[in-house]
Structure 1
Amino acid sequence: MAGKGVSLVIAGTIRVPADRLEAVRPHMLAMLKASRAEDGCLEYAYAEDVAEPGLIRVFEAWRDQGALDAHFTTPHLAAWRAVWPEFGVSDRRLIAYEVASERAV
Structure 2
Amino acid sequence: MAQLTILANIIAKADKVELVKAELLKLIDITRAEEGCIDYVLHQDNENPAHFTFYENWASRELWQVHMG
Flag the 1:37–1:12 CA change in 2: closer, same or farther, 3 A.
same
Structure number with greater Rg is: 1
* 1:59–1:26 Cα change, 3 Å: same
Q: What pairs with 1:59-78 in structure 2 (closer than 5 Å)?
A: 59-73=55-69
Structure 1 portions without partners, runs of 5+: 74-105
Shift of 1:38: 0.3
The separation in 2 between residues aligned to 1:28 and 1:12, in whole angstroms, is 12
Q: Give the 4+ runs in structure 1 shifted more than 4 A.
A: none
CA offset digits 1:21-78 (Å, max 9, x no partner): 22233321221111111000001121111232211111110000111101111xxxxx
1:34 aligned onto 2:30: yes
TM-score by length of 2: 0.83
Instruction: Provide the alpha-carbon RMSD of the alignment.
Output: 1.5
How many residues align? The count is: 69
Q: What's the TM-score, normalizing by structure 1?
A: 0.58
**Which residue is equivalent to 1:10?**
6
